[in-house]
Structure formats: C-alpha cells, structure tokens
Amino acid sequence: MKKEIFEQYKKKSGTLIPFSLKKNIPFETKRIFLIYGNKNFTRGNHAHYKCSQYLVPILGKMEVEIENIKEKNRVVLDHKKKGGLLLKPKTWCKIKFINNNSILLVFCDKEYAYKDYIENYKEFLKIIKKKIKK
C-alpha cells in the first residue's frame, strides 16, 4: 500500500493542488469514476483480480479497510490531508464514509470488467492463500 501526499500551492484566494497522471498515478489510467457516500455507509467490499486502483478523497473523510497477501490495515483518507492511496490487484477494499456528502475519486488501470471482481470474501481468502503456498 502506498499513501502519497500531493503538492499544494496556497494563496489568499484558495489552494491549487496539481495532479499529474504520469507523476502521481503509478500506472496508465484507463478509467476514472466518482463515489458519493454518506456517513456510516459502506462501498467497495470487494477485490479485483487484475485492476489496480488509486483512491483520492475529494470531499470528506473515509476509512478504507484493506487486506492482501502482505497486510491487513485501516487507512483514513481525508480531503484536507491532500493525499491518495494505491490499491494493487488482489487487495480486498471496504470503504466506510465518516462524513455525509463525501466524494471519492478513483483511478483504474483497467477498463470495467465484471469478471475482474472478487465479491465473495471467503473466495478472496482462498485466492490469496493459494498465492502464499506457491
């Protein structure tokens, strides 16, 4: 998991946060989407076989539970911290919104493919345990 803080340029009139797809996003972006969430609601709750994702909080706070072959962790993303989180393939991700009207921007290195989703947690655990045995 890689959490990154973005550069900021502040003036009295506001703050500019430049964002380079080549510099800040660690893969070639093929798809972008927004998730709108309300307090105490959960999104995600799945993994991907091949897709990497980069999460950037646009508004509000969200707690991201992640689990993969290397770690099990919780990360709080906060739009005020100006950072992002990289999720590699075969990483279970569960997003709980801490604030109402939160917005999460997600960059993906793959186009949408239903077959890329691992939606059953027990199946996910079997998949990562197979990797450990190899």
Q: What is the pLDDT of residues 34-90, one digit of tens each?
A: 999 889 899 999 999 999 999 999 999 999 999 999 999 999 999 988 789 999 999
What DSSP line would sit under the chain, residue for residue?
A: -EEEE---EEETTEEE----TTTTSSS---EEEEEEE-TT-EEEEEEESS--EEEEEEESEEEEEEE-SS-EEEEEEEGGG-EEEEE-SS-EEEEEESSTTEEEEEEESS---GGGEE--HHHHHHHHHHHHH-
**pLDDT class for 31, splitting at 50, 70, 90?**
very high
Domains defined for the chain, CATH in brackets: 29-133 (2.60.120.10)
Q: pLDDT at position 1, please?
A: 55
pLDDT at site 83: 83
Q: What is the pLDDT of residues 83-109, one digit of tens each?
A: 899 999 999 999 999 999 999 999 999
Is pLDDT larger for residue 69 or for residue 10? 69
